[in-house]
Structure 1
């Protein structure tokens, strides 16, 4: 019952424009925050709709070219049955497609980078030498001094080592391409759920007591600006979410299981939630489907753009 209520609240929040925290959730669509201090962040929608790499390309285009590419190269692809309307299902399927494409391209790029010979697996020693080999020239003092650059890199290497072990299904200390995909994008692989929960807990748990307090939870998503006297309404709502739904055992903290329920809610469909949000924002006649003119009218919501050097943008990426 609690899970169903949570899913309903999140989907309702997306459709109604109420801030919700999706950055931490597994299988999320963008590392950008959907809302920043009470303001809708369209960059989240751009990356969800286009994929992160293509969103960067569109961000460099002037408005006219951005709209042209959206209309000529994308909308017709989404409208699979060619009836002139983009339905919720078609938009959801498109978002899933762009996310899978981005992840596949990212994995392929890193796989070739760390495995130029095309071997079946990448050993840990090869990966850690490629990524952290420069640390061999650092002194023990540099690697252990609190808050130093070396200390930060040392912790990152330990974190990568642990995630590598989680992804290494056959425990041979080398990852095949499937395992390597789990290592690079654990949020997209259910078998990596426990390590995502653990890393999330460690990131937010500033006092390192193994649990997340209300203030740590709020501090992860909101920092008061100088001179700000009162918290925004969405922060107050998040405090209520924490006490009412996140902290299920009412002990004032979120433990690992409660963090798991938060970032990996069963049966929550991120692509559908984002599709509903986009339809809600662009559906001018409220018929729950989008025409090409409705999408183009809200092109800045879907793809964004900025008036930069057009020639440079085209040289970087000729076509979508």
Structure 2
């Protein structure tokens, strides 16, 4: 009987086995090369980074832009949104939209981002702004007062810009300033971006207009109208007196033009209590002792009643001004960037902590489109 070929030739079987083994090894090596070799560089980095996002006025809330460049770009975004509302009939017809410069943005979905790292470098901006803030005195250190003054100047520019925009959109014939009727109508129907906190005290009434009209000509110029819209920030004594009178009027139950202790305790004291909350105890919360102490401190003539003028010391608590927010933001920034805890900021500290000054503008993206501003 004939034997199989492999039996007749033992080397033939070994060759087949060796061939199969080599084939399997080659396939395995090819698989490993395909799956473990480095992939080609991706055009979009997949590492977390930060990019600078612009905010419209509606998003900005009370955050004051640190950098005038950012403030200007955000102002343009806010104007564009304002004009869009005007075009939809929610405001008077506005001007042609002022676009954000394309050099700083991608447009479309990414138009709110500053994406040119060569033209906007956070560290370079901090270096450029430092000597502009360090002015009183220029000693190489920025104090809380200097930073607050810087913030306040920025905030006032923003507020005045919005006031001018109000005038431009409502003064249709462009020939005169708002009269009492025009101004009270504008104030009674504030725009969606108008953030006044004084609506509940009847601030649009004729007496408010008269107090704002410093020159008594029956119209409000830009400064007067700005005070009209933002009485908490005015230096006009007539308007400050009116604001105090409004606080009395809202809480004066017996209509005697002043506040007795019960009117103060039930209506006004809890509005200002947050300023003393840190030192409060559970017992004091349940008693009227703190209120009596506050009342006696305000009652300068000791007649047992608080007049409008006697409320002036607490008006800053009832109606925080831009100065309050400017100082608050300065204190916070210094607390975050003051690494040596001397209460001041050096150039080195600001350079080492640049994102503190732009913190409200940054977002973390795992799969972003921009590598700048890391």
Give the structure 2 partner of residue 258 of structure 1: 310
Candidates 200, 220, 228, aligned match of 2:271: 220
Give the structure 2 partner of residue 116 of structure 1: 172
Distance apart, 1:259 and its partner CA: 0.7
Deviations 1:100-141 (A, max 9, x none): 2122212211111221332232222334455659xxxxxxxx
What 5-or-longer segments of structure 2 have no aligned partner?
1-60, 76-111, 190-198, 318-322, 367-374
Distance apart, 1:180 and its partner CA: 1.7
Give the structure 1 partner of residue 158 of structure 2: 102
Alignment of 1:187-266 (within 5 A): 187-191=232-236, 192-203=239-250, 205=251, 207=253, 210-211=258-259, 213-221=264-272, 233-235=278-280, 239=290, 242-243=294-295, 245-248=297-300, 254-263=306-315
Deviations 1:173-204 (A, max 9, x none): 3222232222122222222211222233445x
Distance 1:93 1:123, change over 3 A: same
- Helix, strand or coil at the partner of 1:174: coil
Out of 104-113 and 85-94, give the one that drifted further.
85-94
Alignment of 1:64-143 (within 5 A): 71-73=123-125, 76-80=128-132, 85-129=141-185
Confirm whether residue 291 of structure 1 aligns to residue 349 of structure 2. Answer: no
Give the structure 2 partner of residue 180 of structure 1: 225
Confirm whether residue 304 of structure 1 aligns to residue 338 of structure 2. Answer: no
| Cα distance in 2, alignment partners of residues 119 and 297 from structure 1 | 49
Distance 1:154 1:89, change over 3 A: closer
- Helix, strand or coil at the partner of 2:128: helix
Contact 1:213 1:253 in 2 (8 A): no
Distance 1:288 1:127, change over 3 A: closer
Distance 1:255 1:182, change over 3 A: same
**Structure (1 or 2) with the larger CA radius of gyration:** 2
Contact 2:64 2:151 in 1 (8 A): no
Alignment of 1:38-57 (within 5 A): 46-47=63-64
Distance 1:48 1:154, change over 3 A: closer
- Helix, strand or coil at the partner of 1:79: helix
Give the structure 1 partner of residue 208 of structure 2: 163
- Helix, strand or coil at the partner of 2:214: coil
| Cα distance in 1, alignment partners of residues 266 and 353 from structure 2 | 40
What 5-or-longer segments of structure 1 have no aligned partner?
1-42, 134-152, 224-230, 311-320
Distance 1:155 1:252, change over 3 A: closer
Give the structure 2 partner of residue 20 of structure 1: none
| Cα distance in 2, alignment partners of residues 208 and 47 from structure 1 | 42
Contact 2:244 2:312 in 1 (8 A): yes
| Cα distance in 2, alignment partners of residues 189 and 305 from structure 1 | 30
Contact 1:78 1:94 in 2 (8 A): no
| Cα distance in 2, alignment partners of residues 101 and 254 from structure 1 | 36
TM-score by length of 2: 0.46
Deviations 1:47-105 (A, max 9, x none): 49689x95xx69xx89x99xx87655456324326986433453133123112212221
- Helix, strand or coil at the partner of 1:213: helix
Give the structure 1 partner of residue 193 of structure 2: none
Distance 1:101 1:243, change over 3 A: same
Contact 2:201 2:246 in 1 (8 A): no
Distance apart, 1:256 and its partner CA: 1.6
Contact 1:121 1:174 in 2 (8 A): yes
TM-score by length of 1: 0.52
| Cα distance in 2, alignment partners of residues 118 and 309 from structure 1 | 46
